[in-house]
Every structure is written in structure tokens, then in C-alpha cells.
Amino acid sequence: MIDILRLALEEDIGPGDVTTNACVPADRQARGRFLAREPLVLAGTEILPQLYESLTLRKHDGDLCADQEVIAEVSGPARLLLTYERTALNFLQRLSGVATVARRFVDAVAGTNCKILDTRKTTPGFRTLEKAAAVAGGVTNHRMGLYDAILIKNNHISAAGGVKEAILASKSAGLPIEIEVRTRAELREALDHGAVHLLLDNLTPAEAAAWIREIGGRAKVELSGGITLDTVRPYAETGADYVSSGAITHSARAMDISFRLELV
């Protein structure tokens, strides 16, 4: 997180904030407030202590914020507050967008036994932050990257020579194994060779429900493939254990958060 914040500051400030340095006296002190400008689920507050020495958090990651509610208060040299304003807002707005979408997905499946998973469809360099924001919204993290769990997808099956070959070869890694199955024949082959976590992609809710009945509890089931807020409830009601959606991270819009500065 510190590295991505450093890069963000370097990108924005470069050799110096020429506007602020030109028109604001170096010894001027100020305070500022971060305000929600619409209802949102907050995320990204972990970057604020890295920017401001004098900081009071009024809300925390995962909290619901109402329009005009104060998120945090900061104080210090006016130049510093102005120079860091956009970087701080970029992180808060983007990550609160992820958390807000995540909460909407979670709310949409309330009352079912289905959990919502995020994906690796994240902004390059922002994965740790965006996945933390998804958790703030109530979503369960899937794997963080290619290194912490095995997910055998259709191209892996083709490259390995088949479902059986992919599963048997993967067991030696000693990591959790999930496998995508594209046909009922692949489903049966996966179960016959010990698959305990199946990914069913691009099925309709009716098709998914039929496949899940055949699985009969022999494996955990994740559904994926273009699932949106409008369709997630029918998928969750199929009996699936998990539904994953890339939209939580790749399509979340920045929330409206502002920074108000005043002199002290």
C-alpha cells in the first residue's frame, strides 16, 4: 500500500505543486474535512494516516455514510492539505465505490446460503486495496493471485490434456483445487477424480440448478460468468455455495466524496 501511495503522489505532485506553492504562504495552517456527497459504503481510510499526521477518523471502512456525513478531519500546513487532497480523494472515491457495489451484491442475496466472491479483475497495482474494499462491503475474497490457490480453467484443461490429467497433476502442489467444468461429462469426470470445488461458468440459473442437483453436495459450487446485480439473486437461489462477479472491482464507479478546507 505504501508503494502504490508513493507512486500516486509522485505522479500527481512531480517536482512540486506549483499552484499551491505560488499562492499559499508556507506558514499558513488549515484544517479540512472529507465529506460523503452521496450514500456510500466507506473504504480506503487506511491510506489517510500515511498522508496526515493530525487525523481524526469519524467513520471507518465498512461503515455506511449518509450524504454530507463527515468521514474524517485533518489539520496541518495548508500547503500539505491542498497538495494531498486529490490523491487522498482518488483512493477514497475508488475504494468506496468497490465497497458500495460489494454491499449491494451481498444485500441482493440476503437470506440465501450463497456467498459473494470477488475476482482477480482488479486495477493493476490496486489489488490488495480493492480486495480489502470488497471485504469492507461484505464480500469474501477469492484467491489473491495465481500463487495461493489452484483454479483449473478451460484453457488449463486443454493444455493439461483433460480434466483427469489436470486434477491429478495439480494434487502434488498441496494447495486448494478448484476446477471449471464446461459439460456434464466433464462434471462427472471431475467428481470421479476427487474434485471438491467446482466452477460452473456461463450457465443460466435453470441450467445451474440442474447441474447442482446432479452434484448433490459432493462438491462446493461456484457460479460465474457475467453475473450482475440484476441477475445475482436467481443464481444464488440455485443452491450454489458461491457466486463470483468481476463487476465488483472492474465496474465500480468512484463515489462522490469532497474535501472542504478552512483556515485556522
pTM of this structure: 0.95
Which residues span the domain enclosing 219? 111-250
Look at residue 2 in the predicted model and tell me its pLDDT: 82
Which CATH number covers residue 48? 3.90.1170.20
| Model confidence at 53: pLDDT above 80 | yes
**Residue 230 is a catalytic residue:** no
137 with 115, same domain? yes
81 with 171, same domain? no
217 with 133, same domain? yes
Catalytic residue (one of 121, 127, 164, 188): 121
137 with 226, same domain? yes
What are the pLDDT digits (tens) for 129-139? 999 999 999 99
138 with 236, same domain? yes
Look at residue 164 in the predicted model and tell me its pLDDT: 96
130 with 258, same domain? no
Neighbours of 202 (CB within 10 A): 12
| Model confidence at 1: pLDDT above 80 | no
71 with 82, same domain? yes
- Residue 252 CA to residue 122 CA, distance in Å, equals 10
What are the pLDDT digits (tens) for 237-248? 999 999 999 999
Mean of all residue pLDDT scores within the chain: 97
Catalytic residue (one of 37, 58, 127, 153): 153
**Residue 86 is a catalytic residue:** yes
221 with 125, same domain? yes
**Residue 6 is a catalytic residue:** no
**Residue 220 is a catalytic residue:** no
- Residue 108 CA to residue 106 CA, distance in Å, equals 5
71 with 196, same domain? no
146 with 224, same domain? yes
| Model confidence at 9: pLDDT above 80 | yes
How far apart, in Å, do the first and last CA atoms of the chain sit? 31
Catalytic residue (one of 31, 33, 58, 86): 86
88 with 119, same domain? no
Catalytic residue (one of 63, 118, 180, 189): 180
Q: Which long-range contacts (CB under 8 A, 24 or more apart) does 200-203 make?
A: 200/224, 200/240, 201/154, 201/225, 202/226
Could you give the number of structural domains in the chain? Answer: 2
| Model confidence at 124: pLDDT above 90 | yes
**Residue 260 is a catalytic residue:** no
Looking up cell 472515491, which residue turns up?
93
155 with 83, same domain? no
Look at residue 119 in the predicted model and tell me its pLDDT: 96
Which CATH number covers residue 200? 3.20.20.70
Catalytic residue (one of 46, 69, 201, 256): 201
Average pLDDT rounded to a whole number, residues 189-208 = 96
